[in-house]
Amino acid sequence: MARKTLKFRLYPNRQQREKLQATLDLCRELYNAGLQERSSGLLSRAVHDVGWSSFINKLSYKAENAGRQLLKVDPNYTSQECPNCHAIQKKQLSERWHRCDCGLTIHRDHAAALVILGRGLRLQVETKPEVRVSVA
């Protein structure tokens, strides 16, 4: 099945050009930081901090525009903590399933995502108790 390809020229306005340029700059900065890490073997702390802080700032800005709140949670032990009983179980990286004594068996990445979500919700309740939190 052949697909027909159409060519269009986009003419963004000034505000769209600025957003596109800012996004391109961020991507370029992160890409260059990755290249530097691969070439030197060690990621320069300053480049790493600049890249991530710029990314976090832009993500925070986007969240505010969408009426959302960006929360930074502690990423330590998220793939080893049980989202059900919060017990820490050390695992090898090759072990892809989380099996806990409480009976929960779940994929390791899904468990980590639930742990991060729980930490974020708890942090949100602590920082803004007047905001109601609901997860669909």
| Token reading at 35 | 């290249």
For the entire predicted model, the pTM comes to 0.55
Confidence of residue 49 (pLDDT cuts 50, 70, 90): low
Instruction: Give residue limits of the domains in the chain.
Output: 14-68, 71-136
Q: What share of the chain is helix, strand, coil (3-state, %, to 5)?
A: 50, 5, 45
d(Cα 88, Cα 95) in Å, to the nearest integer?
15
For the chain, the distance separating the N- and C-terminal CA atoms, rounded to the nearest angstrom, is 39
Residue with tokens 């994929």: 107
pLDDT at 2: 64
| Token reading at 131 | 């905001």
pLDDT at 89 over 50: yes
